[in-house]
């Protein structure tokens, strides 16, 4: 009982997954969708279905593979130890880079409250590093505390975004939505193909439930459910909020707004409410950063537990928080944040952020495909096997399309990073060589 | 009865209308002959086309106007014809022509349908091109959009800063490029843009230099000229791309085909003799291949 209070509940983990996914992306999403018109809403059909298939596969993996290690453990089922390492390595890189980017976005949104932050490169750098460390230190209290803070910051999403999905309908005018349908008069097929990239990657983050398996109560039940509910929740909120907003604010205004949620609340109530909404959105953004810093440290810890990352990442405090690993991650991210200082470096950092999406997607394929082996080991019935295999193929097809759509620059960078990972693993591989019977006595030490 | 009366009224109206222009200012050549002066109108701050130089004016358009004045001299047989330089402003440039205050507006303007209701136009003397000036350190996203490419390529996910949308401030001259035009051009390229308007080219460049605007849209030749005189340090950059082309010409009296013919004859001869090309070399940094092709289009055979 005492132990479980330091761990995260189903509610806490579901919240973490939803907030992680929406993060800072949701803040500007209505604007980019409005630029294309309400026709872009059709893209949700494709992306929500594809993403739910991935979430379903992860939750099945969670059921058949309750061991620690998240995506990497699922990967190991089909792709052996090197798969475990590569998955952790790619995913760790992805989060380390993405979290810095989320911090930069959050500081950008804060400039409307603290104009100093937007006055130059140095204030931006200070703000970014400040946020990174704030969210690192907030995780020192252990998973229980992280879950509790997350339960507060999640209101930053619930009130503006989920709230809009409910109360927004009172202000909804079907003719405003109809007028916004296709403002650029694109052929429908072209409009949809332009819209899919807006929502294609909106669900990245659904795996964060699996990454937290070491830090939750009853992982065999909590992780699969949190993954499914979190993704479903995000899908519902995404679809409803981006639909209702296009029926309240005329297209031309929405397409040119730098704070669409603040705009819609200012329209429904008054500008003060708009500002409060913006502040809540920033709070949610910081909350998501907190969740991601937690996931980053957990990924490093689980990998170090397997003897594949430096041992210091697996050292936990009495409150189950890998503090030393968090400090190392913080230093690494501070170095990455230096890129905000010059425009040239931030252009380079922009390329890293695109690359990070690729290194987030490769583990999806390696982990989901592990399900085939797990089902074989668990001797599941033919019906379950067929159903899961079909959904697995949908999930992998979606992941491959998302990889393809990242574009050649991002995939090129991601591939180089992947191949470099093989070199790194080769230095570790000797640790996992099966000792031969004659050498058994000598191979006792790790 | 009624019908008859209306007819009579109509006839009267037609007569009055026909007489009106004659009563107002006779015709340009008659006016020049009577006063022995040929009045050139120009905008004094429109380098390199027309600029104030002491009590006279200079520039590409003024040189062309002086050629026209020579032609008027010969045509009217007035070797002692006086040339008067009359500066005008953007707001009264068209009314100055239609009221007869000036005989010709040397500074080129685009012959819009609205302007054509008040004045007539010579053949084009210059093809204006809309371009933009940005700072040396302009973001890649802005340069992409201004060059007609999508601002952000690659995946758009939670870590994409600002969701890939770049927030820009554009400036343009009052009455110039409209906000709608910019929206249409750039909406699908992934920018959120605010448009501010300024009085003249100088003020627009100042906004960009001070960082209050990210791009300033105006006529490329004027931007180029002003950049080389006022911002030679190189922290402002002129885009190579030209968004829109529009031929510009000299405004003349609306109901005076004789004078208009004289102007067009002079300009067409200059196009054919290569004098216009020389003027381009002198004032506008040489004629591009496209400009040379257009010389042939603009000259009336």
Same domain? For B139 and B212 the reply is: yes
- B294 in any annotated domain: no
* Record: contact A202-B190, CB cut-off 8 A: no
Measure A359 CA to nearest chain B CA, in Å: 12
DSSP secondary structure letters along A364-405? HHHHHHHHHHHHHHHT--HHHHHHHHHHHHHHHHHHHHHHHH
* Across A33-52, average pLDDT: 90
Question: What's the whole-number average pLDDT of chain A?
Answer: 88
Residue A142 is assigned to a structural domain of this protein: yes
A21 pLDDT more than 60: yes
**Residue A126 tokens, joined:** 């200070």
Q: Does the pLDDT value for residue B2 go beyond 50?
A: no
Local confidence band at A97 (pLDDT 50, 70, 90 cut-offs): very high
B84, β-bridge pairs:
B39
Say if A120 falls within a structural domain: yes
Q: DSSP for A261-311?
A: HHHHHHHHS-HHHHHHHHHHHHHHHHHHHHHHHHHHHHHHHHHHHTTSS-G
Query: From the CA of B217, how many Å to the nearest CA of chain A?
Result: 19
C-beta atoms of B161 and A255 within 8 A = no
**Same domain as B239, residue B198:** yes
CATH label of the domain that carries residue A303: 1.20.1740.10
Select the residue from A17, A28, A39, A131 to test the B interface by mutation, using most B Cβ atoms within 10 A: A28
pLDDT at residue A443, as a whole number: 45
Q: Do B161 and A22 touch (CB under 8 A)?
A: no
d(CA A17, CA A22): 9
Interface membership of B10 toward A (CB under 8 Å): no
Residue that is last in its domain, among B245, B279, B295: B245
pLDDT of residue A257: 86
**φ and ψ at B198, to 5 degrees?**
-130, 170
Q: What is the pLDDT of residues B108-161, one digit of tens each?
A: 998 988 889 999 999 999 998 888 999 988 888 888 888 888 878 888 888 888
From residue B178, how far is each of A18, A236, B196, B217, B218 by CA, in Å?
42, 39, 10, 10, 11
Nearest to B74 by CA among B17, B32, B45: B32
pLDDT tens for A194-225 read 888 888 888 999 898 888 888 888 888 899 99
Query: Per the structure, how many domains does chain A have?
Result: 1
Residue A310 backbone dihedrals phi, psi, to 5 degrees: -55, 140
* A433 belongs to a structural domain: no
- Give a yes or no: residue A270 inside a domain: yes
How many other CB atoms are there within 10 angstroms of residue B110's CB atom?
13
- For A198, the closest of B156, B161, B193 (CB atoms) is B156
Check whether A435 has a pLDDT greater than 80: no
Distance from CA of B245 to the nearest CA of A (A): 23
Q: Which two tokens stand for residue A131?
A: 């946020």
Do B25 and B93 lie in a common domain? yes
* Residue of A35, A197, A260, A282 to mutate, interface with B, max B Cβ within 10 Å: A35
Residues across chain A:
446
- CA distance to partner chain A, nearest, from residue B241 (Å): 22
- A to B CB pairs, distance under 8 Å: 107
Examine the predicted complex and report whether its ipTM is higher than 0.90: no
User: Reduced to 3 states, what is the DSSP secondary structure of residue A216?
Assistant: strand
Q: Above pLDDT 90, what percent of chain A?
A: 47
Q: Is residue B295 part of a domain?
A: no
Structure tokens at A270: 């008054």
CB contact under 8 A, B192 and A257: yes
Cβ–Cβ below 8 Å for A194 and B137: no
Burial of A247 (0-12, 13-18, 19+ CB in 10 A): buried
- Look at A350 and A412; give whichever has higher pLDDT: A412
Q: Do A25 and B193 count as a contact with CB atoms less than 8 A apart? A: no
In a domain, B77, yes or no: yes
Check pLDDT > 60 for residue B17: no
If asked whether residues B139 and B166 sit together in one domain, one would say yes
Mean local confidence (pLDDT), A177-200: 87
Q: What is the mean pLDDT of chain B?
A: 84
Contacts of B192 in chain A (CB under 8 A): 31, 255-258
Residue B301 confidence (pLDDT) above 50: yes
Q: Which residues of B touch A258 (CB under 8 A)?
A: 165, 167, 192
Strand partners, B195: B170
* Closest residue in chain B to residue A342, using alpha carbons only: B137
My answer on whether B260 and B119 are in the same domain is: yes
- pLDDT(B233) > 80: no
Question: How many other C-beta atoms can be found within 10 angstroms of the C-beta atom of residue A223?
Answer: 27
Q: Is the pTM of this model over 0.90?
A: no
pLDDT in the model for residue A359: 95
Q: How far is A15 from chain B (nearest CA, A)?
A: 16
CA nearest to B165, candidates B137, B133, B136, B194: B194
pLDDT tier at A432 (50, 70, 90 boundaries)? confident
Interface probe, candidates B154, B167, B191, chain A, greatest A C-beta count within 10 A: B154
What is the rounded average pLDDT of the residues B196-212?
88
Contacts of A35 in chain B (CB under 8 A): 187-188, 190
Is residue B300 in a domain? no
Q: Does residue A442 belong to any structural domain of this protein?
A: no
Per-residue model confidence (pLDDT) at position A1:
35
B188 and A35: CB-CB below 8 Å? yes
Residue A96 lies in a domain: yes
Residue-range definition of the domain harbouring residue A392: 2-426
My answer on whether B141 and B92 are in the same domain is no
B162/A108 CB distance under 8 A: yes
Residue keyed to tokens 């409005």: A34
DSSP A68: S
- Who has greater pLDDT, A12 or A293? A293
Query: B154 and A108: CB-CB below 8 Å?
Result: no
Predicted pLDDT of residue A394? 96
Q: Residue A218 phi/psi, 5° resolution?
A: 45, 65
How does residue B3 score in pLDDT terms, banded at 50, 70 and 90? very low
Nearest neighbour of A29 by CB, restricted to B140, B163, B183: B163
Surface of B (116-145) touching A: CB under 8 A: 137, 139-140
CATH of the domain at B214: 3.40.190.10
**What b/e string do you get for B228-258 counting C-beta neighbours within 10 Å, with b at 16 or more?**
eeebeeeebbbbeeebeeebbbbbbbbbbee
Q: Which residues contact A75 (CB under 8 A, 6 or more apart)?
A: A83, A84, A86, A87, A363, A366, A367, A370
Q: Do B188 and A97 touch (CB under 8 A)?
A: no
DSSP code at position A181: S
Interface of B with A in 156-215 (CB under 8 A): 156-165, 167, 183, 187-188, 190, 192-194
Is the confidence at residue A277, as pLDDT, over 60?
yes
How far are the Cα atoms of A198, B8, B24, B28, B276 from residue B15, in angstroms, in the given order?
66, 11, 14, 22, 42
E strand or H helix at A339: none
> How far apart, in whole angstroms, are the C-alpha atoms of residue B68 and residue B251?
13
Q: What is the mean pLDDT of residues B223-243?
A: 85
CA dihedral A219, A222, A224, A225 (to 10 degrees): 180
Q: Per-residue pLDDT tens for B244-284?
A: 888 999 999 998 899 999 999 999 999 999 999 999 999 98
Q: Which of A98, A103, A357 to mutate to test the interface with B (most CBs of B within 10 A)?
A: A357
Asked whether the beta carbons of residue A358 and residue B156 sit closer than 8 angstroms, the reply is no
Which of B137, B159, B160 to mutate to probe the A interface, most A CBs <10 Å? Answer: B159
How far is the C-alpha of B130 from the C-alpha of B216, rounded, in Å? Answer: 10
| Cα A185 from Cα A190, distance rounded (Å) | 10
In the numeric block, the tokens 């052996």 are attached to A80
Q: What is the domain extent for residue B221?
A: 129-245
Chain A closest-CA separation from residue B158 CA (Å): 4
A156 confidence band (pLDDT: 50, 70, 90): confident
Of B195, B218, B245, at which residue does a domain stop?
A: B245
Q: Do B281 and B200 reside in the same domain of the chain?
A: no
Whole-number Å distance between alpha carbons of B27 and B253: 8
Q: State the SS3 of chain B.
A: CHHHHHHHHHHHHHHHHHHHHHHHHCCHHHHHHHHCEEEEEECCEECCCEEEECCEEECHHHHHHHHHHHHHHHHHCCCCCEEEEEECCCCCHHHHHHCCCCCEEEEEECCCHHHHCCCEEEEEEEEEEEEEEEECCCCHHHHHHHCCCCCCCCCCCCCCHHHHCEEEEEEEECCCCCHHHHHHHHHHHCEEEEEEEECCHHHHHHHHHCCCCCEEEEEHHHHHHHHHHHCCCCCEEECCCCCCEEEEEEEECCCCHHHHHHHHHHHHHHHHHCHHHHHHHHHCCCCCHHHHHHHHHHCCC
CB within 8 Å: A402 and B164: no
> How far is C-alpha B59 from the chain's CA centre?
14
Q: Under an 8 A CB cutoff, do A410 and B155 touch?
A: yes
Residue A292 domain-assigned? yes
Partners of residue A255 in chain B, C-beta under 8 Å: 187, 192
Contact between chains at A23 and B167 (C-beta distance less than 8 A): no
What does the alpha-carbon distance between residue B143 and residue B149 come to, in Å, rounded to a whole number?
8
A428/chain B closest Cα distance in angstroms: 31
Nearest CA in chain A to B187: A35
Task: Evaluate whether residue B103 is within a structural domain.
Answer: yes
pLDDT value at B199 more than 90: no
CB neighbour list of residue A385: distance below 8 Å, 6 or more residues apart: A375
The verdict on residue A182 lying in a domain is: yes
Specify the pLDDT at position A289.
92
What is the pLDDT averaged over residues A255-275? 89
B273 occurs within a structural domain: yes
Best A18, A23, A24 member to test B by mutation, with max B CBs in 10 Å, is A24
What pLDDT does residue A398 have? Answer: 94
Q: Write the residue in A194, A205, A258 that is nearest to B167 by C-beta.
A: A258
Per-residue confidence at A303, pLDDT binned at 50, 70, 90? very high
pLDDT band at B242 (very low <50, low <70, confident <90, very high): confident
Confidence of residue B8 (pLDDT cuts 50, 70, 90): low
Q: Are residues B96 and B211 in the same domain?
A: no
Cβ-contact A29, A203 below 8 angstroms: no
* Cβ contacts of B153 on chain A, cutoff 8 Å: 407, 409
Same domain, B109 and B191: no
Q: Quote the number of domains for chain B.
A: 2
Contact check, Cβ <8 Å, A406/B155: yes
Q: For the segment B91-108, what is each residue's pLDDT rounded down to a tens digit?
A: 888 999 999 899 999 999
Going by pLDDT thresholds of 50, 70 and 90, the confidence category of residue A299 is very high
How far from B4 is each of B10, B16, B17, CA to CA, in Å? 10, 19, 20
What percentage of chain B has pLDDT greater than the value 70? Answer: 89
Distance, C-alpha A147 to centroid of its chain: 16
For residue B137, the chain A residue with the least C-alpha distance is: A343
The percent of residues above 70 in pLDDT, for chain A, comes to: 96
Task: Evaluate whether B292 touches B277 at the Cβ level (below 8 Å).
Answer: yes
Kindly tell me if the per-residue pLDDT of B190 is higher than 80: no
pLDDT (mean) for A350-378: 94
Locate the chain A residue with the closest alpha carbon to B150: A194
Same domain for B175 and B269, yes or no, is: no
Considering the domain architecture, whether residues B186 and B143 belong to the same structural domain is answered as yes
List chain B residues with CB under 8 Å of A29: 163
Per-residue model confidence as pLDDT tens digits over B43-73: 988 888 998 888 888 999 999 999 999 999 9
B111 and B172, same domain (yes or no): no
């Amino acid at each position: 009982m005492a132990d479980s209070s330091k761990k995260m509940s189903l509610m806490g983990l579901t919240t973490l997954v939803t907030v992680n996914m929406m993060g800072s992306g949701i803040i500007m999403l209505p604007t980019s969708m409005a630029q294309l018109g309400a026709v872009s809403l059709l893209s949700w059909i494709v992306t929500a279905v594809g993403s739910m298939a991935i979430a379903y596969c992860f939750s099945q993996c969670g059921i058949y593979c309750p061991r620690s290690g998240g995506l990497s453990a699922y990967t190991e089922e089909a792709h052996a130890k090197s798969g475990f390492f590569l998955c952790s390595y790619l995913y760790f890189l992805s989060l380390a880079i993405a979290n810095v980017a989320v911090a930069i976005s959050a500081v950008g949104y804060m400039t409307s409250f603290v104009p100093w932050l937007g006055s130059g490169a140095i204030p931006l750098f200070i703000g970014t590093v400040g946020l990174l460390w704030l969210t690192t230190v907030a995780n020192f209290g252990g998973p229980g505390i992280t879950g509790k803070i997350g339960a507060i910051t999640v209101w930053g999403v619930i009130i503006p975004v989920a709230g809009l999905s409910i109360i927004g309908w009172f202000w909804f005018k079907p003719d405003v939505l109809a007028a916004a349908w296709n403002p650029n008069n694109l052929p429908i097929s072209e409009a949809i193909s332009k819209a899919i990239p807006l929502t294609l990657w909106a669900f990245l983050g659904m795996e964060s439930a699996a990454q937290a398996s070491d830090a939750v109560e009853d992982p065999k039940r909590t992780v699969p459910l949190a993954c499914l509910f979190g993704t479903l929740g995000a899908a519902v909120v995404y679809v409803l909020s981006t639909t209702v907003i296009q029926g309240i604010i005329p297209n031309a205004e929405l397409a040119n707004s730098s704070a669409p949620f603040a705009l819609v609340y200012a329209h429904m109530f008054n500008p003060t409410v708009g500002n409060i909404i913006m502040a809540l959105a920033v709070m949610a953004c910081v909350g998501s950063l907190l969740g991601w810093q937690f996931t980053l440290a957990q990924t490093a810890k689980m990998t170090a537990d397997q003897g594949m990352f430096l041992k210091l990442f697996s050292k936990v405090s009495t409150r189950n928080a890998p503090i030393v690993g968090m400090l190392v991650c913080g230093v690494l991210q501070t170095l990455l944040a230096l890129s905000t200082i010059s425009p040239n470096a931030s252009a380079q950092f922009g390329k890293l952020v695109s690359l990070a999406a690729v290194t987030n997607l490769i583990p999806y394929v390696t982990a989901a495909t592990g399900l085939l082996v797990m089902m074989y080991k668990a001797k599941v019935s033919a019906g379950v096997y067929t159903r899961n295999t079909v959904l697995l193929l949908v999930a992998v097809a979606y992941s491959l399309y998302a990889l393809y759509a990242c574009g050649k620059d991002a995939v090129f960078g991601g591939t180089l990073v992947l191949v470099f990972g093989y070199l790194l693993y080769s230095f570790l591989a000797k640790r996992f060589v099966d000792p031969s019977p004659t050498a058994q006595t000598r191979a006792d030490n790790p | 009865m009624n019908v008859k009366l209306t007819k009579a009224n109509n006839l009267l109206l037609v007569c009055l209308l026909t007489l009106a222009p004659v009563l107002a200012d006779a015709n340009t050549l008659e006016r020049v002959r009577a006063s022995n002066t040929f009045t050139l109108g120009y905008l004094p701050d429109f380098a390199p086309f027309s600029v104030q130089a002491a009590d006279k004016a200079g520039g590409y358009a003024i040189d062309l106007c002086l050629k026209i004045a020579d032609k008027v001299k010969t045509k009217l047989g007035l070797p002692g014809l006086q040339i008067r330089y009359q500066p005008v402003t953007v707001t009264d440039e068209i009314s100055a022509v239609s009221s007869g205050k000036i005989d010709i507006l040397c500074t080129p303007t685009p012959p819009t349908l609205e302007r054509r209701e008040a004045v007539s136009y010579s053949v084009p003397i210059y093809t204006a091109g809309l371009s933009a000036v940005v700072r040396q350190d302009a973001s890649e996203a802005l340069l992409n959009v201004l060059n007609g490419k999508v601002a952000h390529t690659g995946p758009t996910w939670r870590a994409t800063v600002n969701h890939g949308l770049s927030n820009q401030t554009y400036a343009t001259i009052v009455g110039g490029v409209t906000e709608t035009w910019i929206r249409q051009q750039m909406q699908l390229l992934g920018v959120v843009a605010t448009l501010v308007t300024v009085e003249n080219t100088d003020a627009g460049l100042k906004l960009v230099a001070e960082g209050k605007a990210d791009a300033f849209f105006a006529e490329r030749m004027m931007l180029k000229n002003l950049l080389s005189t006022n911002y030679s340090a190189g922290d402002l950059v002129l885009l190579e791309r030209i968004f829109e082309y529009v031929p510009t010409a000299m405004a003349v009296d609306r109901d005076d085909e004789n004078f208009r013919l004289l102007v067009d004859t002079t300009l067409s001869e200059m196009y054919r003799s290569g004098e216009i090309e020389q003027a381009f070399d002198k004032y506008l940094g040489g004629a591009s291949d496209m400009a040379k092709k257009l010389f042939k289009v603009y000259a009336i055979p």
